[in-house]
Structure 1
Amino acid sequence: MTTDEYESNPTGPLVSDAELDRRLKARRVENAVSAFGPLALVNSQRIDAPQPVWGVPGLWSPLPDGQSGLLVTAEASDGILVDGDPVDGDVIVAGADAMVASTLVFDDHTRGTVVRVEDGGYALRVWDSRSEAVDGFQGIAAFDYDPAWVVPARLDGDEVTFEREGESHTLEVRREGKALQLIFSDATSGVSSYSMGRFLFFPPSEDGEIELDFNRAVLPPCAFSYQFSCPIPPARNRLDFEIAAGEKTVLTVDGDGLH
């Protein structure tokens, strides 16, 4: 998922807030089932020593310290393509942090990416556009759009402050690409929305005056696949009242919550 989905109105001022909300929700659904959407992630395996990876062929090994990516060892019959070329022997797969990341294809519906993990190692992520989660996906349940949840706020460094029913709340934020990210939970978490909380992205402001549009609160990637790690909201971001706005949960074709 990308943060710029939730930064500004890309269609101009003539589109109503409710219509913009509808379009953004449609884009979220499209992204969820895309080839590298969160429902497609079926494995994320850290590579610390030569080892096989569940779901795909090849032997995967770490590279020397300071070098981006992984080494794959395979035969041409395994059908692995790196940067469009068949692997027959040893090939380096550059990570997403490299100047140019490698493309990695296993078959017509399975792809791979190599990502750096927090302590400096690398993991192989396997994406299957025909995964069980994709096939069983019905949609993303969300609260109805409510303009009352467009809240004026004040940004001061890595904190944002807003008022709700006469009470002031100061929450921690962090930078995520061009946007700022708020990771929060509330009284709907684990009841009518995803238990681990939700994300809200918003643009920075030069004068510190911003709006928090909680109608744009989104589910974290871990709500779609357990292969993603799930960030825990900081203590001060765990709100004791309901924020009945934004996304609730991922729905399966049976109408149940996925997680």
Structure 2
Amino acid sequence: MRNDTAQALSEQGHRDEALAIWHELAEQGDARATANVVVECAADGRYTDALRWWRRLEALRTGVPPHEPGVRLRGLGKTEAAEGWWRTAAEKLKDDRSCEYLGISLRERGHGQEASRWLRQGAERGDGPCARELAGLAFERAERAADPVTREIHTEEAAKWTREAAAAGDSPARLILHELEEQLAEQLEEQRRAEREGGCRGMCSAGGTAAGGGGSATRWRARPTPSAADGASPGSTPRWTRT
């Protein structure tokens, strides 16, 4: 009942009064109030306090995943606070879903380099969705590359992380990998046919080599990587609305 009162006060703009009730209930071990305190601390940028309350929530064995406070904050339109919490959870809790969601959010805002750094942390621990998102960023870089050498480097990196994601059991990555393998087989067949006819002629100049020219990147963009933002990550479908 008091949780409902606090919720109503918060929605009416009486945040301080709501927080006072939630803090009191959280001190008594109320899980719902504790979860709200985590979110409110993070909303204020007090991530150390949010983490302290998160550990108390975790001790209550609620089963709430570490990335969820960030999902709630994003649902409230507080993207920077959401990213701040995901950074905290990724760094302090080594939470792969927080790495994934943070990477997606940063990518959406044009911060691809930082997104890659966080996604790589999860990918190197063997997380499939993080590896898939990392592959997507590499494919995007390949598509933007101005020279064939740089394009090939990024395409090879993308293929590597796609294989890693598929090996980790990520279903979207398996589909993408299958498409890439089919495309590679088509390119090899075209190259062999051109060689039989007297040389590769347009093949080489068009950049359609088996090493990965521009085709792989184009295919990736034609089928955007399923992501947490689309609810595609197994077991971690985000809710961008308040719950």
TM-score (norm 1): 0.25
TM normalised by structure 2 equals 0.26
Query: Whose strand fraction is larger, Structure 1's or Structure 2's?
Result: 1
Higher relative contact order (CA 8 A, sep 6+): 1
Q: Larger C-alpha radius of gyration, 1 or 2?
A: 2
Higher helix proportion? 2
